[in-house]
Structure 1
Amino acid sequence: MAISIMGGIGMMSFGVFGAPGLGYAKDRFAGESLRKADSAAYAEHKNAQPSSFLPFIFDEARGLDGKKLGEVQQHRDDIRTELAKAGNTDRQAVFDKLNPTERAANDASIEGDRKTLRVDSLIPATMAVIYLLLLVYFKLIGGYKPVHIDAESEAAYHAAQ
């Protein structure tokens, strides 16, 4: 029961701290990607408010404006629908119809998502390494050895105090 409660507390605390961290990472990576690809598109699509996470560790980052990015994605989806009605299912044709600024913003958003997932994958990889180290440690000490506390041991312990 206690282990389940600790697991639940861990999941909730990760939700409280992890979600803002992932949002910051997405903003940072998407903003950096667009700034490197097309500085004019970055100036047009950057968010007015900077994103921050653990300000004593990470610098502020400006991601993409969600409203403007939503408009680009809506335009992309409208083009996809028009092309599908015409019988064209070529994915590249959709992106060819976007203007260069929209294409750069869309590509930066995708790149930001991919980099965020790569960074986020470090968390379970680190946990796996820690569990493997625990496994090796217990193998080195001869396995898990339960400790039995009986009345004599407890009395001897209190007598030594």
Structure 2
Amino acid sequence: MSPDPVMSPSRPCLLVESLRPLVAAEADAEAQDGALESADLEQDVWVRLLERLDAGGPPRDAGAWVRGAVRDAARTARLRALRERSFGDEQVPEPLGREDCPERAVLAAERHRAIHAAVARTPGPCPRLLTALLSPSDPTYREIAGQLGISQGSLGPMRSRCLGCLRRMLAAEVAAPGLRGKER
């Protein structure tokens, strides 16, 4: 049996041209609900095909591969859309039950306690400055400078030094997260 000239790895242009109508039709079919753009799905499939050709050659059953790749791209796009939030002017409501969840309340209290304990251990004028910055009354720089008896212009550089010190302290206490997924 002679090899199919369309599926020949040495002729990817023929493969792309032969699959173009199928990719467009499958992408249009998946994007029917209006939540997805068919052009985005097509682009994702073409990138996957190029990666496939580069890694190991063309798929054996190109039609089945295209249908699966389009469905996978659509599923990924829908999941991504569920996680995305708008940065518009409207307020994004908190997830239901967030304030009623005792685990979250305990974790938030523990996080605040750890931060305030680390702030207290910072050197020099940093504890007073960071405590003022963390105040629930949300004071302005002018109010903080007046409270600490320093110029408003020196507040920014001092804040940067203190936050850097706090960051280094907390990084030393918290283990770095391990790698997730496949290592390359």
- Range of TM-score over shorter length: under 0.3
- TM-score, normalised relative to structure 2: 0.24
Structure with the greater alpha carbon radius of gyration = 2
Q: Using CA pairs under 8 Å that are at least 6 residues apart, name the structure with larger relative contact order, 1 or 2.
A: 1
More helix by share: 1
With normalisation by structure 1, the TM-score equals 0.26
